[in-house]
Amino acid sequence: MLAEHDFQKKADALFEDLKKRLLNLGDEHDFDVEGESGKLEVIFEEPEPARFVISPNTPIREIWVSALSTSFKLAWSEPRNAFILEKTGEDLYGVMSRVISQHLGTQVTV
Amino acid sequence: MKYFLTALFVALLVSPLAAISQTPSANDIVAPTAFASNEPVARGMAIQVAVVLKIRPGFHINAREVTYEYLIPTDLRINVPAGFKFESVIYPKGTIKTFPFSKDKGLNVYTDTVILRLPLTVLKDAPLGPQHIAMKLRYQACNDEACFPPKTRDVEVTLTVVAAAAEAKSANPELFPKK
């Protein structure tokens, strides 16, 4: 398991990059992004109101994504050097691409 | 003529596997696993099976819609057991990428993780108990320099059929999130 400081550092860097990518996509696909490294929220008004929450779960060193009534839990993978959803092998960008695409009904790549 | 020459070029790429001898086998490049949206499933239910393809970093496989006719598309065939109805596989769109061997035109490929989806209906007369859904996945794996010969892999998922809808349960929510 990652040391807490190491997890925090990796999560902060990931959240910063994710926020930048989401802000760019939000302009194009009409959704809002709020929050900082402690929690990011993706807010949709269309095609129906929805809120996706991405947050670090420090005690168990996971990144959790709450979206589409589902909780996606990503754990650190040393070989991949990324937080990974074990069942699919997707990283955080892959999971976010999938859930945003499913909500909007169009292909979005984070 | 241009297509013939391109096809010949790709064929030559496929054959000298010595060039990629340091790389893993085609079997190790794609890890396919099947998951069901429900387990157990009830007679009369519409369900989905997701076949998750984890593709090794640095490699790709041709998407379902291939850029050139001579490329081998990703293909999933299902051996539908008695008591199930199946229509067609839902393939995701690929990503257009250019490679050293295809600089003129990008190729439509799958990378990282790809999820193929199979909508299934459990018929009212489906046999009760464990039912095996056998599938054959065919793909062609490549890296930036060369392609492997096409590979066919067996994929299987087991569904337990029950009579009462109340006994059916949702499963694998990360793969089947609801809007």
From the number of C-beta atoms within 10 Å of its C-beta (0-12, 13-18, 19+), residue A69 rates as exposed
What CA–CA distance (Å, rounded) separates B108 from B64? 8
Residue A78 near chain B (CB below 8 Å): no
- Classify residue A44 by its DSSP letter: E
Residue among A53, A87, A98 with most chain B CBs within 10 A, to mutate: A87
**In degrees rounded to 5, what are phi and psi of residue B2?**
-60, -40
Q: Give me the mean pLDDT over the B13-38 stretch.
A: 74
Under 8 Å between Cβ of B179 and A103: yes
**In chain A, what residues touch B178 (CB-CB under 8 Å)?**
68-70
Given an 8 Å threshold on Cβ–Cβ distance, is A70 in contact with B179? Answer: no
Query: Residue A82 has what pLDDT?
Result: 95
Q: Which residue of B has its CA nearest to A74?
A: B174
| Nearest CB to B174; choose among A48, A85, A91 | A85
**In chain B, what residues touch A103 (CB-CB under 8 Å)?**
179
Tens-of-pLDDT digits for all 110 residues of chain A? Answer: 899 999 999 999 999 999 999 999 999 999 999 997 689 999 999 899 999 999 999 999 999 999 998 999 999 999 999 999 999 999 999 999 999 999 999 989 99
What CA–CA distance (Å, rounded) separates A101 from A95? 10
**In chain A, what residues touch B114 (CB-CB under 8 Å)?**
none
**In chain A, what residues touch B174 (CB-CB under 8 Å)?**
70, 72, 85, 87-88
CA distances from B159 to A18, B49, B82, B130 (A): 37, 10, 13, 6
